[in-house]
Structure 1
Amino acid sequence: MATDLIDLAGHEQVVFCSDPDTGLRAIIALHSTSLGPGLGGTRFHPYESTDAALADVLRLSRAMSSKNALAGLDHGGGKAVVIGDPHRDKTPELLRAYGRFVESLGGRYVTACDVGTYVADMDVVAEETRWATGRSPERGGAGDSSVLTALGVFQGMRAVAQHVWGEATLAGRRVGIAGVGKVGARLTEHLLEDGAEVVVTDVDDAAVARLLGRHPQVRAVDDATALARLELDVFSPNALGGALDDDTVDALRARVVCGGANNQLASAETPDRLAARGVVYAPDFLVNAGGVIQVSDELHGFDMERAAGRTRAIFESTLEVLRTADAEGLTPAVAADRLAERRIASGGSTPWLPGQAGAVPEGGTPAPEVR
């Protein structure tokens, strides 16, 4: 089965990592390096099986190729998963062993934080490899990449609001956020500042409690299904992938779906199902690119103002995708895929959009050669 998954995904390289001394079991997947080194985070998750972990890392790394291309970055798609419970199995020794595997790829893969990994973890990984980003500022890094991931999702949401309702604001709109971890909590703050009403849910009761403690005006519901059934303007998945399965799509009462979770679509047919119900979907790999913009900027000598400026350009990028989809009779997911494929096929020689999120501004510092 594992070989079949690799063949179907069309990846350049898949590396299985094992270190018995520390208990490390990990998989690094490089989907494409045609635009540059594969860039993508490391997910630490208690997968039910190796095949489940492999299927996830293949999906995630493939999506990173599109995300990095749409963001205008000179990076291909890569991703890694560590199999285990991060609360129980994560140790400094295991992270250092993982860092040695990343280093062994010689710069073909650049890692960062993802679900289950944090800035402090990347600091440890970086003790063994030059190719760990998302490190703490004290270690020369950009810090928590959820800062710009949330900003990018908010800009994408503003763009969809402009496209659907004629105003680039969520003021007076009801937004349902499924998942209030690192990204979802920061997105909540952007939305409240913009004047939106926010309803949340999370499988982690403590995460909900922390958010409500800071923002008592936010309402919480039991689960994502209950959230989807509410009268919402925007449904925003911000946890693990596969949030938009058939049951959720059928239950949705929102006009817009826009969130930070990776791989939200449960199947290839989901975009058509959403379109048939009149739901406008902002492709996840387009709007959640702020995090990779942030960590990739570490390779330039990190500048938050520069990275945030590139992230705000997700607003125009999202508008362009939605307009292209309407003009060509496509779903936004297909329109975004085609634009990403066009840039990948060009080898990055031409930008894909005016005002692309990853363009180096005048006076900016180009990325170093890391091939």
Structure 2
Amino acid sequence: MFTLDHEQVMIRTGPRSGLPVIVAVHSTALGQAVGGCRLWHYTDWRDGLTDALRLSAGMTSKCAVAGLANGGGKTVIAVPEGVRIDAALRRNVLYDVADVVDSLGGLYATGPDVGTTPADMAVIGEHTTHVFCKPAQRGGSGDSSPHTAIGTLAALRAVCRRIHGTSNLSGRRLAVVGLGSVGEKLARLLAAEGAELLVSDIDPGKRTLAEELGATWSRPEQAVAAEVDILVPAALGGILTEQSVSDLRCHAVAGPANNQLATPDVAGLLHRRDIIWVPDYVVGAGGVIYALTTELHRGTADDALTRVRAIEGTVSDLLHTAERLGTTPAQAALELTQARLRSASTSHAQRSVPSPAHN
């Protein structure tokens, strides 16, 4: 039986665009819900709803483990197959998103995700203040991918320490699967660290990056099964299936790609093969941490960068807890999330209890 544990789910047909606009607010126990705005083609709009539900729950976990005073949400615009998003339709659908977000009265703020950009957030910001990652010249923190890459590098140092006893990535062999905005930046950071890189992407044009970095180029399916220290998924999700896990020849999997597990039980398969898997919502939290710290919580850039780099300590703690309890890092992260949500709910309930009257 399917259980809906979200606080609110809104589904509207945009009056300007005619497209389905879905906003899922998973939790506000820790604070305002936040999540990206995904503009993507779906065979059926209900597939977009499934994405919104899953991704918003993942944002709650991402914020909780990172220690942010925010909950999880998600916006999905479910574009039917064959519909082309031209400039006029794009602006209309962004205004439709802004109306839905604004109608929630600040319970939820949205930012960029697959299919949207900081410039799109500026358009949404014309109709609501509940938006983040606008371009820097428009008062936002801009592209989140550099800080997602920095946070991923921090996580990989922690994983390297768990495997080899040192966080030094020089000479370690890593396979980066996906060379998009985050994957390319991460590959450059790893090359600068002296890592031995195998890189791949569905776009053969990315081969020039491999040549520039002195990395080995491979097709994605070959990269996933390569003999490396750490496999780094940095593209779209679903890369870890029952079949692909059986083919893995790595010590660990840790990367910024969302929803890496095809099904939740794949985490158990990885554990039984003695392959460390660090949840993507922990590894890839750097961009969210930086944006929320600087924009929604009014912290300085230095404060935000310190929190991004603290992902190394977070991952180290999760790996230590998992080893001590004989469980998976995924389970350790889940229990940490649940503990922080329970603590927040208890504190809220205590604040809500009226003080006894004094005669």
Q: TM-score, normalised by structure 1?
A: 0.88
2:208 and 2:62 mapped to 1: Cα distance? 31
Q: Is the contact made by 1:141 and 1:302 (CA closer than 8 Å) also made in structure 2?
A: no
1:367 maps to none
Contact 1:74/1:348, CA 8 A, preserved across alignment: no
Aligned residue in 2 for 1:80:
75
1:53 aligns with 2:48: yes
Does residue 34 (structure 1) correspond to residue 32 (structure 2)? The answer is: no
Cα distance change, pair 12–349 in 1 and its aligned pair in 2 (3 A):
closer
Equivalent-residue separation in structure 2 for 1:23 and 1:239 (angstroms): 29
- Residue identity (%): 39
The corresponding residue for 1:96 is 95
Question: Counterpart in 2 of 1:226?
Answer: 222
- 1:143 is paired with a residue whose SS is coil
Where 2:176 maps in the other structure, the secondary structure is: strand
Partner of residue 115, structure 1: 114
Between 1 and 2, higher relative CO (CA 8 Å, sep ≥ 6) is seen in 1
Structure 2 alignment gaps of length 5 or more: 348-359
Post-superposition CA distance 1:266-289 (Å, at most 9, x none): 222111110111211111111111
Choose the corresponding residue for 1:306, options 296, 303, 307: 303
CA distance in 1, matches of 2:178, 2:4: 28
* SS of the residue 2:231 aligns to: strand
2:317 is equivalent to residue 323 of structure 1: no
| Contact 1:24/1:98 (<8 A) preserved | no
CA distance in 1, matches of 2:9, 2:199: 37
- Mapping for residues 239-318 of structure 1, pairs under 5 Å: 239-297=235-293, 298-301=295-298, 303-318=300-315
Q: Deviations over 1:67-98 (max 9, x none)?
A: 10011111111111112289735622221221
Match of 2:204 in 1: 205
Q: CA deviation at 1:303?
A: 2.9
Cα distance between partner residues in 1 of 2:346 and 2:304: 21
Q: Distance in 1 between matches of 2:278 and 2:268?
A: 13
Q: Is 1:64 matched up with 2:66?
A: no
Residue 252 of structure 2 aligns with an amino acid whose one-letter code is V
Give the CA deviation at 1:57: 1.1
User: CA 1:135–1:212 in structure 2 vs 1: closer, same or farther (change >3 Å)?
Assistant: same
Q: CA deviation at 1:218?
A: 2.3
Moved more, 171-180 or 16-25: 16-25
- TM-score, normalisation: structure 2: 0.90
Write out the 4+ residue segments of structure 1 that deviate beyond 6 Å after TM superposition: none
Q: Distance in 1 between matches of 2:175 and 2:264?
A: 24
Please list the CA deviations of residues 236-258 of structure 1 after superposition, one character each: whole Å capped at 9, or x if unmatched.
11122221111211111111100
* Paired position in structure 1 for 2:39: 44
Aligned match of 1:362: none
Partner of 2:131: 132
The residue aligned with 1:366 is none
**How many residues matched?**
342
Higher-Rg structure is: 2
Aligned to 2:330: 333
**Structure 1 position 155 matched with structure 2 position 151:** no
